[in-house]
Amino acid sequence: MSVVVQNTQGWILNACSLIDQGYSRCIRFKDNQKSRVECRFKRQCFHILKGYYSASAAVGGGNTDMLQETDKPSKKRKRKHSELNQGEVDALAFHEKIRSVILEGTKSLVDSARSLGYLKEVTDVATEPLPSQECSLAALCEMAKELPPMDEEEQEECVQRLVAEDGCTSHVDLFSRVTESGSGCATVLTLMGEEYVIPACAAFLLSDFTRIQPLVHYGRRFDLIVMDPPWENKSVKRSRRYSFLPSTQLKWLPIPLLASPNCLVVTWVTNRPSHLRFVRDELYPHWGVEVVAEWFWVKVTTSGQFVFPLDSHHKKPYEVLVLGRYRSSVDNSSSSEVSEVPVQDQRLIVSVPSALHSHKPSLSEVLKPYVRAEAKCLELFARSLQPGWTSWGNEVLKFQHTSYFTLTAADDQGDVPKDEATDESRDEPRDSAEFSSAGESSPPRHCPTSVH
């Protein structure tokens, strides 16, 4: 079950289960053969048994056991308020403002989860090492900049199908066209010499800012846009794990060309106050997006403890999401047909985080109530795909690599029906939709209706 608990404070998510539900049916194309496989995201990526700190180093109110608020003195000298720079003062003020919301809400949710047998105390167990696949997608995007730009006629053909009847993908141009999965179930395919798992009815564009135009020419207006920008910070500069983006360049994103009236826009923000102010006061107003709520993603261990002490001066066990509604300045008759559900403020999303860097949980389940039943959904700066969603980024396939999955042969290895692996027989287009009224994924055009 992907949503373990839901109450007035928020949700507890099983992030690994959220991924797996997109691969309940999977077809593998290999050596000109099609076979059924069972596909699950590797469990060791979510085995966070202990917090990322030593219990003896917890600061006052650090809550090494989050059900008991302790008052242990810090062994590290606590800096005086006068020694903090302005950014640190702002961060402290923001933390004090939301501290009780995080502490009390998380305790309520974790208690409920434990009563259901989730987030239990576990002993250390030996696990397999984490996947360590080297991702060269960003470098390939850089190389793709040398390709000649598409002319107007080519721009009209900015969409391509991924799966041919024989599973051949050698003709696919991932860098200058939006690629749609042609399958009503998940598929395992070879792309650029590597195997990737593609969820049902997903669409994606592998590019950076300089090649984002095919997404605009795609011709879709989205009802939900989620983005996780590569925020600039000192640790990223030191580690060079990924290229960061100056905040002001985010204004170049063509949100007004991608958003439908009243589109829900959700942005992951670091705990740096300047980033939060930028989103609320500059970025959203620049796009015509009205801020409606702030939510918090709270990261806990498999036993329900904060992954960092709540009052740590180094890192916090939560991140912020800013939610807003796109208010189109153009009179659009369709806007009156959209029933807008108010978004509650200060909700919590509690989950065990992935041990993989910058691997966020899917928000599809918690955002369902706030978008229409057949919403078209887009993720920007994505590093993975979701069933029925469109995704864009220069590492959009990173966590789809088979090294992150466990693939086993399915029990029923009969002939794979043609219309299960591909959907080439359909000529009429379909609208992309993630959310149906029944809460299941609804497919994009050319996809059969029974996805799961």
| pLDDT, tens digit (0-9, with 9 covering 90-100), for 40-49 | 999 999 999 8
Name the architecture of domain 3-47+126-421.
Answer: 3-Layer(aba) Sandwich (3.40)
CA of 294: how far to CAs of 59, 279, 320, 377, in Å?
26, 11, 7, 20
* Cα 439 to chain centroid, rounded: 18
How far apart CA 42 and CA 39 sit, in angstroms, is: 9
Contact 122, 302 (CB under 8 A): yes
Tokens representing 241? 């794990």
Instruction: Give the model's pLDDT for residue 122.
Output: 74
CA nearest to 441, candidates 187, 161, 185, 179 = 185
> What pLDDT does residue 412 have?
67
Separation between Cα atoms, residue 167 and residue 163, nearest integer Å? 5
pLDDT of residue 451: 30
Task: Specify the DSSP class assigned to residue 313.
Answer: S
Return the number of other C-beta atoms located less than 10 Å from residue 60's C-beta: 13
Side chain identity, residue 360 = K
| Backbone dihedral angles phi then psi of residue 211, each to the nearest 5 degrees | -125, 30
pLDDT of residue 39: 93
What are 196's strand-pairing partners?
A: 189, 401
Which pLDDT value is given to residue 417? 55
CA 93/CA 49 separation, integer angstroms: 31
Classify residue 327 by its DSSP letter.
-
Q: State how far the Cα of 421 lies from the Cα of 35, in Å rounded to an integer.
A: 10
Task: Indicate the burial class of 371 (C-beta count within 10 angstroms; 0-12, 13-18, 19 or more).
Answer: buried
Asked if residues 266 and 224 have their Cβ atoms less than 8 Å apart, the reply is: yes
Q: What is the CA 301 to chain-centroid distance, rounded? A: 19
One-letter amino acid identity for 319? E
Torsion region of 79: left, alpha or beta (phi above 0 gives left; psi -120 to 50 gives alpha): beta
Position 177 scores a pLDDT of: 92
Asked if residues 34 and 78 have their Cβ atoms less than 8 Å apart, the reply is no
Q: Token pair of 99, please?
A: 């501290």
DSSP 63: -
Give the residues of the chain that fall short of pLDDT 50. 54-64, 67-74, 236-239, 331, 333-336, 424-452
pLDDT of amino acid 239: 46
Q: Is the C-alpha dihedral spanning 110, 114, 115, 121 positive or negative? A: negative
Q: What is the DSSP letter of 300?
A: B
pTM above 0.75, yes or no: yes
Tell me the domain boundaries of the chain: 3-47+126-421
What is the model's pLDDT at position 126?
64
Is 41 in contact with 140 (CB distance < 8 Å)?
Answer: no
Confirm if 29 and 186 have CB atoms less than 8 A apart.
no
What is the model's pLDDT at position 421? 54
Could you tell me whether strands 222-227 and 377-380 are parallel, antiparallel, or unpaired per DSSP bridges?
parallel
